[in-house]
Structure 1
Amino acid sequence: MRDLPPARFLDPATPPSVLTLTLLAGISALSMNVFLPSLPSMAAWYGVPYATMQLSVALYLALSAGLQVLIGPVSDRYGRRKVVLGSLILFLIATVATLVAPTAETFLIARMAQAVIASGMVLSRAIVRDMVSDERAASMIGYVTMGMSIVPMIGPVIGGVLDEAFGWQASFALLLVAGAAVTWLCWRDLGETSTPSDLGFTAQFAQYPGLLASQRFWGYTLAAALSSGCFFAYLGGAPFVGDQVFGLSSSRIGVLFALTALGYAAGNYLAGRYSMRVGMNRMVLVGTVITTLTCAAIMLLSLAEMTGPVTFFGLTLIIGIGNGICLPNANAGILSVRPELAGTASGLGGAINIGGGAALAALAGALLHPGASELPLAVLMFATSAGSVLAILWIMARARRIGLTA
């Protein structure tokens, strides 16, 4: 963290406001989920199987993971502002391409190009770390992501309504308009917060082994990746479950998707309110346990054939609370390993997180076939979340062993 002038709204010579960081991260989240209720109708439009269109989630996440490895070092080298603005412009071009794509294959290519907006999620966290110290980072990230979660909370609802009223293209038109607005806001308000590094890319990538050799980095990264992994599996499989298992309309699926984001917002509020008081590690543990117990409940209900749309989707609200408590603290832990490489650490941690999410989303799509129930998805969600509990317990045991506060 370096000395920065006080933030003044719409002054590009000062650090950005919380509103700008929230919307920057929000457009990244909106791009991930606004069109999910439209997946069945998109498959029908292009005349391809659902599993093909579901790749628009898995491939997007996979490329997003790869880009995050590059985004962090590039922003450490050239500064946050240039990378954010460049990524937003490329995102707008890719969004136009999704609207005019004539085939499923060209749509998927354009959809993968949209993954450049991953910079919004990565760099909003790195900018927070530029602006505040370790002890405040988890709290501020919690408040930023609490506001950010409002965007994906309403996104699937709007996407489902737009799909039924105007067709699936309307969701991507919304992304185009929202992306243009966030681009203008960042141009006017997002001042540079980092000191560009003198290290070349080779030297910066040489820092990766130091991060990858850190038990703390892996512990926090795995806690975040596995806790959110159940959510990514849910993203890949829930549209199928809503449409094929429960027979719900696009708009109804969109409304039920909002429950997870509502829970995430509540969890983010709790993270912002209590992280400094309770402690980063304990908050991660609380969040992962909440998520895992809820996934276990969904799995057991599914085994007993007692699930319905209300119980299946309703319990994901509690999963959202657990993720909302865990992730701001786990991300703050990732950034605290090497504060001078906040962008690199955020990008590498995010790449592992999103890369794992891409694999889980694809696996969820592969497990769900015509005639399948929601049980394979429920088992996958429980298994990944249980791993997150083990990851944070490992970090806490190590902290006690070397005499640190757990």
Structure 2
Amino acid sequence: MFTPATSPPRLATLIGLTALAILTLNLFLPTLPQIAADLGADYALVNLSVAGYLALTALLQLVAGPLSDRFGRRPVMLIALACFCLASVGAALAESITVFLAWRVAQGSIIAGVALSRAIVRDMFAPQEAASKLGYISMIMAIAPMLGPILGGVVGEVFGWRGNFWIFAGFGAAMLWATWADLGETNAYKGRPMREQFRSYPELLRSRRFWGYALCLGFSVGAFYAFLGGAPLVATVVFDLSPAMQGLVIGFTTVGFFFGSFAAGRLGTRVPLTTMMLAGRLLAFGGMSLGLLVMLAGYVTVPVLLGSVVFVGLGNGLTLPSASAGVLSVRPELAGSASGLSGALMVGGGAVMTWATGLAVAAHPSAPLLLAMMLVSVVISLIAALWVIAVDRKMAAQAGA
């Protein structure tokens, strides 16, 4: 029971690590007003617990990946989980907004649960099988955002905002034990000196296939972040929806992603990575284009908006597992670095799309404008997918010659 693991982990352990990382982002969101009132802070300042967390996770992914390539996935994951547990207890006990924000941002260490889980899957499986496993893991990225705020709101009402951070600490401790007992080392290339790794990084960064996969990932997710950046204002100004209905509309985006991820899990072992990636991009492009045309024809309604967004979710569910498996396969010995860098690009691209869409919709509140901004991100991701396919065909032709 307490013997350190020496064999590869079960898929359930990787799913648990991913779920914890996703829940850490949104479980406590319904209690932000409670935190502001209890700690005597302005709401905008408390909101840094989200923005600061995202900023640190982007940076930590750049560090965690290379460290896991050098020292192994297991020790980096264990250290990240230990830091997360400590930070969760610190945030639960905080008596000032400064201390709270410091511990809250430190919780960002759990992003290793996402970045390294992807690298571990690639260590264990060939690209096709990895895409299938990543599809099932991605389903958690659909369920957790739906259930997290609901659970967090209930806990906040019964136990106060600190209850959510005690949940983080308990969940983190459980995953620390599970990682110790189940997650054996999977990195067969560990031990290479950092200097040797850095010499090989430019080859990864010069790879057109890496950037094609990474840009496809970043702007696929960017369409979802664009929706988050503009949907609340459009729902209020254009459709006059109540806060409860706004939450339902925003949460509805994950329905398509859930089913798309399930399909990726079922098809991943039989359908080529680039085919599934392109299918997801075409599905998102077709759905968004049709929705925008319907709105421009005068049918500006909530069902049209929801239908368009469902297609984005379906497309992302198909695209993300295959594109993730592809980006990790460019240089298998640098899978951790590739996972960290591509993850940072996803967060960064999402932040840019959120900011740009928020500015555009704030200046001209319009549902068609929101769909147009999302479509821009989808088109860029489609171009990136086509670029990867073109590069692969060129490399195949050269190898044949």
TM-score interval for Structure 1 and Structure 2 normalised by the shorter chain: 0.7 to 0.9
The alignment status of 1:338 with 2:328, answered yes or no, reads: no
Partner Cα separation in structure 1 for residue 388 and residue 140 of structure 2? 29
Letter in 1 for 2:79: G
Quick check: 1:288–1:323 contact (8 Å CA) kept in 2?
A: yes
Q: 2:5 aligns with which of 3, 12, 23?
A: 12
Query: 1:212 maps to which residue?
Result: 205
- Aligned-partner SS, 2:61: helix
TM-aligned CA deviation for residue 108 of structure 1:
4.0
Q: Is the 8 A contact 1:62 1:359 kept in 2?
A: no
Q: Offset at 1:197?
A: 2.6
Once residues 362 and 95 of structure 1 are traced to their aligned partners in structure 2, the CA distance between those partners, rounded to angstroms, is: 29
Inter-CA distance 87–397: structure 2 relative to 1 (3 Å threshold): same
Which residue identity lines up with residue 184 of structure 2 in the other structure?
Answer: G
**Counterpart pick for 2:135 among 137, 142, 151:** 142
Structure-2 change in CA distance of 1:325 and 1:365 (3 Å): same
* Corresponding position: 1:323 with 2:306: no
Distance 1:205 1:368, change over 3 A: farther
Deviation for aligned residue 1:345:
1.3
Question: Is residue 307 of structure 1 aligned with residue 284 of structure 2?
Answer: no
Pick from 180, 200, 205 the counterpart of residue 187 of structure 1: 180
| Of 119, 122, 135, the match for 1:126 | 119
CA contact (8 A) 1:368 1:377 kept: yes
Number of residue equivalences:
395
How far does residue 243 in structure 1 lie from its aligned partner after superposition?
A: 6.7
Q: Does 1:380 align with 2:366?
A: no
Structure 2 equivalent of residue 248 of structure 1: 242
Aligned amino acid, residue 293 of structure 1: G
Provide Cα deviations, 1:90-116, integer angstroms capped at 9, x if missing partner: 112222344345565554443322221
Aligned CA RMSD, in angstroms, stands at 3.4
Structure 1 residues without counterparts, runs of 5 or longer: 1-7
- Are residue 31 (structure 1) and residue 19 (structure 2) matched? no
Instruction: Look up the match of 1:396.
Output: 389
1:96 corresponds in structure 2 to: 89
CA–CA distance in 1 between the matches of 2:365 and 2:35?
A: 21
Task: Describe the SS at the equivalent of 2:396.
Answer: coil
Per-residue deviation, 1:74 = 0.5
1:200 is matched with 193
The separation in 1 between residues aligned to 2:3 and 2:312, in whole angstroms, is 36
Q: Percent identity?
A: 42
Q: CA deviation at 1:276?
A: 3.2
Q: Of 217, 220, 224, which residue of structure 2 is paired with 1:224? A: 217
Shift of 1:47: 5.6
Q: Residues 302-340 of structure 1: CA distance to partner in whole angstroms, max 9, x if unpaired?
A: 6657233x5545643332221110000001110111111
What is the aligned counterpart of 2:277 among 277, 281, 284?
A: 284
Tell me if structure 1 keeps the 8 A contact 2:138–2:261. yes
- Relative to the length of structure 2, the TM-score reads 0.85
Specify whether residues 363 and 38 from structure 1 end up closer, same or farther in structure 2 by C-alpha distance, changes over 3 A only.
farther
Conservation of the 8 A alpha-carbon contact between 1:157 and 1:257:
no
- C-alpha distance in 2 between matches for 1:268 and 1:10: 34
C-alpha separation in 1, matches of 2:301 and 2:157 = 26
Relative to 1, partners in 2 of residues 1:9 and 1:127: Cα closer, same or farther, differing over 3 Å?
farther
Q: CA deviation at 1:166?
A: 5.6
**d(CA) in 2 for partners of 1:125 and 1:291?**
24
Question: What's the counterpart of residue 346 of structure 2?
Answer: 353
| AA aligned opposite 1:343 | G
Write the distance in 2 (CA, Å) between the matches of 1:239 and 1:39: 17
Q: Counterparts of 1:145 and 1:170 in 2: how far apart (Å)? A: 27
| CA distance in 2 between partners of 1:294 and 1:53 (Å) | 37
Cα shift at 1:75? 0.7
Unmatched 5+ stretches in structure 2: none
138, 147, 151: which one pairs with 1:158? 151
Q: What CA deviation, in whole Å up to 9, does each residue of 1:15-65 have, x standing for no partner?
A: 110100111111111222334455577667766365x55544443222212
Aligned twin of 2:61:
68
Equivalent position SS for 2:188? coil
1:264 aligned residue = 257
Contact 1:154 1:258 in 2 (8 A): no
Q: Are the structure 2 counterparts of residues 43 and 389 from structure 1 closer, same or farther at C-alpha, using a change threshold of 3 Å?
A: farther
AA partner of residue 19 (structure 2): G
Question: What CA distance in whole angstroms lies between the structure 1 residues aligned with 2:167 and 2:233?
Answer: 23
Q: Could you tell me how far 1:382 is from its partner in structure 2?
A: 2.1
Larger mean Cα displacement after TM superposition, 31-40 or 226-235:
31-40
Matched letter for residue 42 of structure 2 = V
- Checking the alignment, whether the CA contact within 8 Å between 1:64 and 1:355 is kept in structure 2 is no
Q: Which structure: larger Rg?
A: 2
Residue 42 of structure 2: aligned partner: 48
Conserved 8 A contact 2:64-2:340: yes
144-153 vs 24-33, which moves further: 144-153
Alpha-carbon distance, 1:12 to partner = 1.4
**Which residue does 1:293 correspond to in 2?**
286
